[in-house]
Chain A
Amino acid sequence: MKTIYMDNNATTRVAPEVLETMLPFLTDRYGNPSSAYSFGGEVARDIRRARERVAGLLGASPDEIVFTSCGSESDNTAIMSALNTGKGKMHIVTTRVEHPAVKVLCGELTKRGVRVTEIPVDREGRLDMDRYRESLTPDTAIVSMMWANNETGVIFPLEEAAGLAKERGILFHTDAVQAVGKIPIDLGHSAIDMLSLSGHKLHAPKGVGVLYVRKKTKFAPFLIGGHQERGRRGGTENTASIIGLGRACELAADRMEEENTRVRELRDRLEKGLLGRIPHSRVNGGGAPRLPNTTNISFEFVEGEAILLLMDEYGICASSGSACTSGSLQPSHVLRAMGVPFTMAHGSVRLSLCVYNTDEEVDEVIDRLPAIIEKLRAFSPFWKPEGQACASGT
């Protein structure tokens, strides 16, 4: 059975071009980039090139790129650095819909006496900018705000938010793991101080990430050790992955247009096709600016995990914000923050595309999913076949 992979916000396939660039560093060219001899020193040169390529995609300068092991490490580094260099400032501003890498860390920090303000979002997932403005105080050490939401694809007005923080002298960090490669980013003309990205979300392998740190930003390393990354992140470089990430960033820049035209069209067609064929369904965050590749659809009267496992029978890969798939008993914190009713949140499915998805795959999902929903609704106690669905018992 062919796999139809529509879960690119979870992870992506390694691009063949990326793998090709990496292979020599997993075989013959295993030298340590810190070594004095050319067998190692030449690897350092390739890392330098990778750094330039990453910087190129972000509109940053190569010195501002710190390689890490993943997006979560980058997020942790940024927030802890702000607290450690913040001269006793004990307040963090973030949002209610952050990735656990930020959300759970902030939760832990409250136990150590840090005050955390989570800015709410509206029904479409848009940030409450008034509340944001009011939340910035002289005690605020850092704002950490995701650029685009992993579950809904909703994009926050990042530049405006960063500008407001800058006016008040507050550090601004963004978890841009979902945004990088999907929407244009130009840090050269921006008020953003720190930005996290993750390799495996843009067709590089897992185990490599980046923290962008604007020049002259006060910084305290998270992983303390060797002189690597100019003392900003100890530990021998993950050379093959870093070099792969460099190539992936170059590819992402080349494919940005395709992402925003062909991929967007695929997503729109998929969304329209499913909404048209499946009654009692709605897009979460559909009224807000969104990433071109993501759709999050709720199917009422059925439960997400059951949908995913039936899709799995056809090799279709997707995610859900239902309680049963989140590993907890409550549906996704993102959908709850948006006020999506529980009855809708339990039946949510996220489909996230990439440049490797095809028209045929979209057709197949549009073809298969309605029957899956119908099958589950047929024995849902809340579904009335005549179409007069009854929401009693909620």
Chain B
Amino acid sequence: MWEYTDKVKEHFLNPRNAGEVEGANAVGEVGSMACGDALKLTLKVDEKGKIEDAKFQTFGCASAIASASALTEMLKGKSVDEAEKITNQEIADYLGGLPKEKMHCSVLGRQALESALSNYRGEAPKKQEGKIVCECFGITDKEIEKAVRENNLTTVEEVTNYTKAGGGCESCHDAIRELIAKVREEEAPAKRPALSNVQKIKMIEETLEREIRPALQQDGGDIELVDVIGNRVLVASRGACAVCKASELTLTHFVEAKLREMVWPELTVEEVPQ
């Protein structure tokens, strides 16, 4: 059972502003039944740009319902400009926090708000920007980058908690890792200068020696660096690795992940015949 705050429970059991505002002039709809949660937000904004009324309709779990209820309470009486600034973290804070696995419920609220406000301004419903990274939940690279940037996320697990991306078949985890690295680089351009080829090869060799080969040797395996071409790291398996059926998994899950972590996030590891 999830540990919800009393405020989440209270908003779930007695949701405020459930339903649809009549004569709404700002409508935002996000999510889908297939995803497991969906939110439709209807607002009435007066001539002066103040939000007179706000209602929600939610398909989702207790925290999705509570987040939507909280959002409508936060919106009422605010100007459109003020509403614009509400972040998903503020929705979560209003409820005394959400379990980390449920942060995507607050993100859903923020997305519905954005969608409603652009509808109010008469903008065409935003076409999905970017390309889909997570096929299971239809999450794009832009959405992932945004969540990473706004919430300072550093791991795939955190991205899943906030956006759901990567929570299904998990085949997009590498792509998410790359997006995290990309945002991190933007944020701290000075920290990580591009590596020269010589530096890169040296760091790869060091990481192999220090981190990777000792672990493989424990299982009777080994690995040898053959060449580095751009971001392609060519290796040859030795010992038990050369005959192990699972060595392909080891290469991607362990060797590549380690090299990406320690050396350069865009490295790919390929095995070459001995």
Task: Give A residues with C-beta under 8 Å from B.
Answer: 110-113, 301-306, 309-310, 313, 322-325, 327-331, 342-343, 346, 378-382, 391, 393-394
User: B194 on the interface (CB 8 Å rule)?
Assistant: no
A residues less than 8 Å from B136 (CB atoms): 329-330
Given contact pairs A379-B19, A381-B40, A394-B34, A305 touches B61 in the complex (Cβ within 8 A):
yes
- A302, A327, A382, most chain B CB atoms within 10 A: A382
**Would A380 and B249 count as touching, CB distance under 8 A?**
no
Shortest distance between the CB of A293 and any CB in chain B (Å): 23
Given contact pairs A322-B36, A330-B167, A381 touches B61 in the complex (Cβ within 8 A):
no
**Would A381 and B59 count as touching, CB distance under 8 A?**
yes
B residues less than 8 Å from A394 (CB atoms): 32-34
Knowing that A303-B64, A304-B61, A394-B33 touch, tell me 15 more A-B residue pairs with CB under 8 angstroms.
A111-B249, A302-B59, A305-B62, A309-B9, A309-B12, A313-B13, A329-B164, A331-B36, A346-B33, A379-B19, A379-B58, A381-B29, A381-B58, A382-B33, A382-B38
Tell me the chain B residues, 51-89 only, with Cβ under 8 Å from chain A. Answer: 56-62, 64-65
Give the distance in Å from the alpha carbon of A310 to the alpha carbon of B12 in the complex. Answer: 9
**Would A323 and B36 count as touching, CB distance under 8 A?**
yes
Instruction: Select one of A302, A306, A330 contacting B168, CB under 8 A.
Output: A330
Chain B residue nearest in CB terms to A394: B33
User: B246 on the interface (CB 8 Å rule)?
Assistant: yes
**Would A113 and B38 count as touching, CB distance under 8 A?**
no
User: B160 on the interface (CB 8 Å rule)?
Assistant: yes
User: B222 on the interface (CB 8 Å rule)?
Assistant: no
**Would A382 and B244 count as touching, CB distance under 8 A?**
no
Q: List 12 A-B contacts (CB under 8 A).
A: A111-B246, A113-B245, A113-B246, A305-B2, A324-B60, A329-B160, A379-B18, A381-B57, A382-B59, A394-B32, A394-B33, A394-B34
Chain A residue nearest in CB terms to B40: A381
Nearest 5 Cβ contacts at the A-B interface: A329-B167, A113-B245, A324-B61, A379-B18, A305-B61
**Would A306 and B12 count as touching, CB distance under 8 A?**
yes
Give the distance in Å from the alpha carbon of A323 to the alpha carbon of B63 in the complex. Answer: 13
Give the distance in Å from the alpha carbon of A305 to the alpha carbon of B37 in the complex. Answer: 11
Given contact pairs A113-B246, A382-B33, A303 touches B61 in the complex (Cβ within 8 A):
yes
**Would B33 and A343 count as touching, CB distance under 8 A?**
yes
**Would B246 and A112 count as touching, CB distance under 8 A?**
yes
A residues less than 8 Å from B168 (CB atoms): 329-330
B residues less than 8 Å from A391 (CB atoms): 33
Shortest distance between the CB of B176 and any CB in chain A (Å): 14
Give the distance in Å from the alpha carbon of A322 to the alpha carbon of B64 in the complex. Answer: 14
Instruction: Select one of B15, B34, B59, B167 contacting A303, CB under 8 A.
Output: B59
Task: Give B residues with C-beta under 8 Å from A.
Answer: 2, 9, 12-13, 15, 18-19, 29, 32-34, 36-40, 56-62, 64-65, 101-102, 136-137, 160, 164, 167-168, 244-246, 249
Give the distance in Å from the alpha carbon of A343 to the alpha carbon of B160 in the complex. Answer: 21
Give the distance in Å from the alpha carbon of A313 to the alpha carbon of B32 in the complex. Answer: 27
Shortest distance between the CB of A248 and any CB in chain B (Å): 27
Chain A residue nearest in CB terms to B58: A379
Shortest distance between the CB of B20 and any CB in chain A (Å): 9
Shortest distance between the CB of B212 and any CB in chain A (Å): 17
A residues less than 8 Å from B244 (CB atoms): 113
**Would A306 and B65 count as touching, CB distance under 8 A?**
yes
**Would B57 and A303 count as touching, CB distance under 8 A?**
no
**Would B36 and A342 count as touching, CB distance under 8 A?**
yes
Given contact pairs A112-B246, A306-B60, A324 touches B36 in the complex (Cβ within 8 A):
yes
Give the distance in Å from the alpha carbon of A372 to the alpha carbon of B146 in the complex. Answer: 37
B residues less than 8 Å from A113 (CB atoms): 244-246
A residues less than 8 Å from B101 (CB atoms): 327
A residues less than 8 Å from B245 (CB atoms): 113
Give the distance in Å from the alpha carbon of A393 to the alpha carbon of B58 in the complex. Answer: 13
**Would B29 and A393 count as touching, CB distance under 8 A?**
yes
Shortest distance between the CB of A392 and any CB in chain B (Å): 9
**Would A393 and B12 count as touching, CB distance under 8 A?**
no
Give the distance in Å from the alpha carbon of A304 to the alpha carbon of B160 in the complex. Answer: 20
Shortest distance between the CB of A382 and any CB in chain B (Å): 6
- A305, A327, A331, most chain B CB atoms within 10 A: A305
Give the distance in Å from the alpha carbon of A394 to the alpha carbon of B164 in the complex. Answer: 17
A residues less than 8 Å from B2 (CB atoms): 305, 324
B residues less than 8 Å from A380 (CB atoms): 57-59
Shortest distance between the CB of B241 and any CB in chain A (Å): 12
Give the distance in Å from the alpha carbon of A379 to the alpha carbon of B37 in the complex. Answer: 13
Shortest distance between the CB of B121 and any CB in chain A (Å): 22
Shortest distance between the CB of B111 and any CB in chain A (Å): 14
A residues less than 8 Å from B64 (CB atoms): 303
B residues less than 8 Å from A379 (CB atoms): 15, 18-19, 56-58, 65
Instruction: Select one of A325, A329, A342, A378 contacting B18, CB under 8 A.
Output: A378
Shortest distance between the CB of B67 and any CB in chain A (Å): 12
Give the distance in Å from the alpha carbon of A6 to the alpha carbon of B146 in the complex. Answer: 43
A residues less than 8 Å from B33 (CB atoms): 301, 342-343, 346, 382, 391, 393-394
B residues less than 8 Å from A346 (CB atoms): 33, 36
- A301, A310, A330, most chain B CB atoms within 10 A: A330
Give the distance in Å from the alpha carbon of A393 to the alpha carbon of B33 in the complex. Answer: 7
A residues less than 8 Å from B32 (CB atoms): 393-394
B residues less than 8 Å from A111 (CB atoms): 246, 249
Given contact pairs A328-B167, A379-B18, A381-B40, A309 touches B62 in the complex (Cβ within 8 A):
yes
